[in-house]
Copies of this chain bind each other. A is one copy, B any other.
Amino acid sequence: MENTDITNISISEESYECSFTVDCAVFGFQEGVLKLLLVQKGIDAFKGYWLLPGGPMQENQTAEQAVENILHLLTGLKNVHQQQVHCYSSVDRHPVKRVVTICFYGIIKPENHPIVSEKHDDVKWFRIDELPKLGFDHDTLANDALNKLKSNVEEKLILGELLPEKFTLTELQELYESLMDQKLDRRNFRRKILQKGLLKKSGEKKTGVKGGPELFELTQR
């Protein structure tokens, strides 16, 4: 593995090149649980496997542009703010050729972002606790992305983005509990979250549910 050829420390026209892909773990919150968006597109080597949406970076794109573009092509999603998770560069991680990949993650409100795909059933939301075995090394990527999401949530609680415009505190709490996989005290949760000052009452109440809970919204985005 070690390379001691000192002529190779500088970039030239002839420098080694390889392909580059971007993959993204898009998380959403639906039916009270955290979900991950997977696709099953005709990539020969892993036909039949579910995968994180992803594909090659092109000549005129940054990785960030590539991931936005590819996610749109595969799923119809647009304007999903993405964040880098990690770069994977094992020599043999792709069966066709050497491919380095960067994994991103993004969070969306599923109900605001309709999935668009030519075939049915090749783009689907999966419960995070019921993921199928993924192709390539995407199990690892998905797991790393989830951990990144969790640790970002622990630091600064930016989860409003996963919920509809207006939501109850119970809904927000369920999201936390699902993500962090732990139960929280309702009163303590309310206090902590409200004193962040990121939420305000919308003035409306949610109907169809007992107790008539207040609907909240983000103060800013």
Contact = CB atoms under 8 A, between A and B. Distances in A.
> Which of A9, A56, A94 gathers most chain B CB within 10 Å?
A9
Interface string A1-24: 111101011111101111111000
A73 to B, nearest CB: 6
A11 B41 CA distance: 12
Given A16-B59, A20-B100, A89 B64 contact: yes
Interface in A127-177: none
Contacts of A18: 17-18, 20, 59
A55 B90 contact: no
Query: What is the count of identical protomers in the complex?
Result: 2
Interface string A38-81: 00011110000000000111111111110001101110000000
Interface size for chain A: under 10, 10 to 19, 20 to 34, or 35 or more residues?
35 or more
B17 A69 contact: no
Contacts of A200: none
Contacts of A87: 63, 84, 87, 102
A97 B13 contact: yes
Given A1-B60, A17-B18, A100-B63, A41 B9 contact: yes
A99 B41 contact: no
A59 B13 contact: no
Contacts of A20: 16-18, 20, 100
Contacts of A60: 1, 3, 91
A43 B9 CA distance: 9
B11 A57 contact: no
Nearest to A9: B55
Contacts of A10: 41-44, 55-56
A205 interface: no
